Amino acid sequence: MRATVIHGERDIRIEEVPDPVLSTGGDAIVRVVAACVCGSDLWGYRGITPTPEPKRIGHEFVGIVEEVGPDVTAVKVGDFVIAPFYDCDFTCINCRNGVSTSCLHGGWWGGTDEFGAFADGAQGERVRVPHANGTLVATPSMPDAALVPSLLTLADVMGTGHHAAVSAGVTPGSTVVVVGDGAVGLCAVIAAARLGAARVIAMSRHPQRQALAREFGATDIVEERGDEGVTRIQELTGGIGADYVLECVGTKESMDQAIRSARPGGMVGYVGVPNGGPELPVRPLFNRNVGVNGGVAPVRNYIEELLPEVLAGVIEPGRVFDLELPLADVAEAYAAMDERRAIKVLLRP
Amino acid sequence: MRATVIHGERDIRIEEVPDPVLSTGGDAIVRVVAACVCGSDLWGYRGITPTPEPKRIGHEFVGIVEEVGPDVTAVKVGDFVIAPFYDCDFTCINCRNGVSTSCLHGGWWGGTDEFGAFADGAQGERVRVPHANGTLVATPSMPDAALVPSLLTLADVMGTGHHAAVSAGVTPGSTVVVVGDGAVGLCAVIAAARLGAARVIAMSRHPQRQALAREFGATDIVEERGDEGVTRIQELTGGIGADYVLECVGTKESMDQAIRSARPGGMVGYVGVPNGGPELPVRPLFNRNVGVNGGVAPVRNYIEELLPEVLAGVIEPGRVFDLELPLADVAEAYAAMDERRAIKVLLRP
């Protein structure tokens, strides 16, 4: 089959790779219907994360089950399934505690599973899915093609935006600031509005993203950043700051922006993968009782909650995809996101 | 009157100072019945925080109202009152949001209030209390002398331990680790047990403090620290860590202990004043979805909730005072706490 392989900085190729083969009894082979490029994939693309040897890449996909191992009971051949950006058994204590990203038996696409068997990256034609019973969620019936983009966001960005809001503890009637206007930030706007925030302030400088944020439920847009951004948030919040801030970028600057945008006693929900591991400044947090909660989003735990609203069209997170390309053009997909010509690119094998 | 003045490292003196005088209309003069020495007072005593010029010290007291300004309606002359370790109007948006330490008009003992008038330190015979309507809480009647130590803890340590537990979000049936066996840590044990934790693991190496922790509700004691401490917590929690960890020390080591003792998805409630401002390591928090919440405890917001239980003897946080001295011996009080001969020293003017 064909799959995407990253060879190094700005070197993304489609290659022939071995077809996946069932091996653990509890795994499944899924034919990919749609995959996409993640902001975090750009780290390797940009050379920020080194790629010492070629490796398979991609971690978001939806598809059709083609084969299942003898222990698989939760999905069957022919099902349309959503996979989170990791695999998990969904039965261990951490999964039951709502943190399936810390599954005691889980793993990551493009790596080896707990049995030492390879699990394909998602930007390819097929993926072997370990722990299929826990990892995959089947839709009740074959979804309309128009729903595929939104279903695909449940693999990562919609669940991640939701996690920011849940980690912050967004409450009805509250004021929420969203830092970051990428796909995750835009999905965080949906999540905050969905949880009843009365005011959702999106920080964005891009007219197209601002427009989408407003359609997703943002009530205010702040274009300023840094000190000016903090001042503007203060002006919009009676001089004290926002109840909740959703940090969806992962840089030192964005986290600083988030912390300073929260009111005393406020909470920052953060899901931006810390880029280079910035430390959190404890004094500004301590002095104003601003908390920080979040992390790598356990999106598997959120699929059941969000799926019905996607199927019903109540939320349309798939609108974050503003470019669709065939898998063969995956290199162009990376370039378009790298150059911010696209918010998020959907790939069709 | 006589009051405590810190002149520099290990130089604590009782001196004659001017009697306080009403000045703002909303203030009160309180005769101190009991005060105490705080762990944070030791920073100046040990020279970690420099003392460029002599200054009044102390921030925890209970007493009897002797005079009130014309705008004071919430307390009257003769009332027994508890003061938090700061003054606040208890009407501003931050106070109403539960964060009275961020009062828009508040201040600190031994400093100047918002009108530029001096507010005495608490280790003295009398204190002028700004914003008496908001700051002071009167007991329903004159309390029994035996209750004074527990009432005094509502000025700081019991409210602060409670804040750690509230910030972490301790739930009934949960497992809680308390890092720190000082007065705040011991009060955090009371708070965790009071909020229904099924298991409260106190980290302590001191037999006397271990015994008190057990009487306060600790179900387990862990003597180990660092890697051994984390390993022991893992052993006690099925290999995953505690639901909630209450950090009551404020050093880099104690925060590290706290973060590593939490399970994936767990929460650290921290109230230990960050000593020198250690940064929080974001990667271990992000990767395991461990949150951090807390800060300088808004104890004024907790007095109404905790006072009835103190008056009824349901909780006895005053047992953290294991030494009582006359105010004249305040220098010995500091020495006893510095040398860890006492958990916490109560002073009687």
The widest CA-to-CA distance across chain A, in whole angstroms, is: 61
Whether A281 and chain B come into contact, CB under 8 Å, resolves to yes
What integer pLDDT is reported at residue B257 of this predicted model?
A: 95
SS3 label, residue B192: helix
Whether B153 has a pLDDT exceeding 90, the answer reads: yes
Q: What are phi and psi of B201, to 5 degrees?
A: -100, 115
Average pLDDT of the segment spanning A29-39 = 97
Whether A165 has a pLDDT exceeding 80, the answer reads: yes
DSSP one-letter string for B27-79: -EEEEEEEEE--TTHHHHHTTSS--SS-EE----EEEEEEEE-TT--SS-TT-
Contact state of B293 with A288 under an 8 Å Cβ cutoff: no
Beta strands A2-8 and A11-16, pairing class = antiparallel
CA distance A88 to chain B (A): 14
Indicate which of B248, B286, B299, B302 best probes the interface with A, i.e. most A CBs within 10 Å of its own CB.
B286
The residues that bridge with B65 in the sheet, in sequence order, are B30
The residues that bridge with B137 in the sheet, in sequence order, are B82
What integer pLDDT is reported at residue A281 of this predicted model?
A: 86
What integer pLDDT is reported at residue A76 of this predicted model?
A: 98
Q: Exposure of A18 by Cβ count < 10 A (0-12 exposed, 13-18 middle, 19+ buried)?
A: exposed
Contact state of B97 with A263 under an 8 Å Cβ cutoff: yes
Of A102, A277, A283, the CB nearest to B283: A277
Indicate which of B293, B299, B300 best probes the interface with A, i.e. most A CBs within 10 Å of its own CB.
B293
Measured between alpha carbons, how far is B136 from B129 in angstroms, rounded to an integer? 8
pLDDT tens by residue, B185-205: 999 999 999 999 999 999 999
Residue A279 banded pLDDT, cuts 50, 70, 90: confident
CB hemisphere CA count around B247 (13 angstroms):
30
Average pLDDT of the segment spanning B253-278 = 89
User: Which regions of chain B does DSSP assign to beta strands (E)?
Assistant: 2-8, 11-16, 28-36, 55-56, 61-68, 80-83, 126-129, 137-138, 175-179, 199-203, 220-222, 242-247, 262-270, 291-294, 321-326, 344-348
Q: Which has the minimum average pLDDT: A266-270, A274-278, A293-297?
A: A274-278
Of B93, B94, B274, the CB nearest to A286: B274
Of B273, B279, B289, the CB nearest to A102: B289
CA distance A289 to chain B (A): 5
Measured between alpha carbons, how far is A46 from B139 in angstroms, rounded to an integer? 65
SS3 label, residue A328: helix
Measured between alpha carbons, how far is B152 from B84 in angstroms, rounded to an integer? 9
Average pLDDT of the segment spanning A136-162 = 98
Whether A101 and chain B come into contact, CB under 8 Å, resolves to yes
Whether A104 has a pLDDT exceeding 70, the answer reads: yes
Pick the CATH number of A157-294 from 3.40.50.720, 3.40.50.1390, 3.50.50.60, 3.40.50.150: 3.40.50.720
Cα torsion A167, A169, A172, A174: sign = negative
Contact state of B281 with A277 under an 8 Å Cβ cutoff: yes
Q: What are phi and psi of B61, to 5 degrees?
A: -160, 155
Residue B291 banded pLDDT, cuts 50, 70, 90: very high
Neighboring chain B residues of A292 at a CB cutoff of 8 Å: 280, 285, 291-293
% chain B with pLDDT above 70? 99
Q: CATH number of the domain at B2-156+299-348, please?
A: 3.90.180.10
Measured between CA atoms, the residue of chain A closest to residue B99 is A265
Distances (CA, A) of A326 to A346, B172, B258: 8, 52, 48
Contact state of B282 with A278 under an 8 Å Cβ cutoff: yes
CATH 3.90.180.10 domain extents, chain B:
2-156+299-348
Contact state of A277 with B277 under an 8 Å Cβ cutoff: no
ipTM strictly over 0.90? Answer: yes
Measured between alpha carbons, how far is A182 from A186 in angstroms, rounded to an integer? 6
Whether A240 and chain B come into contact, CB under 8 Å, resolves to yes
Measured between alpha carbons, how far is A45 from A10 in angstroms, rounded to an integer? 5
Residue B276 banded pLDDT, cuts 50, 70, 90: low
pLDDT tens by residue, B104-119: 999 999 999 999 999 9
Indicate the average pLDDT of chain A. 96
What integer pLDDT is reported at residue B280 of this predicted model?
A: 87
Whether B285 and chain A come into contact, CB under 8 Å, resolves to yes
CB hemisphere CA count around A312 (13 angstroms):
6
What integer pLDDT is reported at residue B22 of this predicted model?
A: 97
Residue B277 banded pLDDT, cuts 50, 70, 90: low
Contact state of B292 with A285 under an 8 Å Cβ cutoff: yes
Average pLDDT of the segment spanning B170-179 = 98
Angle at B193 between CA B190 and CA B195, to 5 degrees: 105
Beta strands A220-222 and A126-129, pairing class = unpaired
Cβ contacts from A onto B, under 8 A: 123
Whether A277 has a pLDDT exceeding 70, the answer reads: no
Whether A286 and chain B come into contact, CB under 8 Å, resolves to yes
pLDDT tens by residue, A68-97: 999 999 999 999 999 999 999 999 999 999
Contact state of B289 with A295 under an 8 Å Cβ cutoff: yes
Contact state of B280 with A280 under an 8 Å Cβ cutoff: yes
Neighboring chain A residues of B298 at a CB cutoff of 8 Å: 265, 289
CATH 3.40.50.720 domain extents, chain B:
160-294
Contact state of B294 with A295 under an 8 Å Cβ cutoff: no
Of A264, A292, A298, the CB nearest to B97: A264
Measured between alpha carbons, how far is B105 from B98 in angstroms, rounded to an integer? 15
What integer pLDDT is reported at residue B178 of this predicted model?
A: 98
SS3 label, residue A266: strand
Contacts of B329 (CB under 8 A, 6+ apart): none
**Is A333 or B48 the better-scoring residue by pLDDT?**
A333
The residues that bridge with A267 in the sheet, in sequence order, are A244, A291
The topology under which CATH files domain B160-294 is Rossmann fold (3.40.50)
Cα torsion A275, A277, A278, A282: sign = positive
Contact state of A281 with B279 under an 8 Å Cβ cutoff: yes
Of A98, A274, A283, the CB nearest to B286: A274
Of A99, A255, A289, the CB nearest to B289: A99
What integer pLDDT is reported at residue B171 of this predicted model?
A: 98
Residues 151-180 of B with CB under 8 A from A: 167
Distances (CA, A) of B206 to A47, A105, A123, A269, B46: 52, 39, 57, 38, 22
CATH 3.40.50.720 domain extents, chain A:
157-294
CB hemisphere CA count around B315 (13 angstroms):
30
Contact state of A282 with B283 under an 8 Å Cβ cutoff: no
Neighboring chain B residues of A294 at a CB cutoff of 8 Å: 286, 289, 291
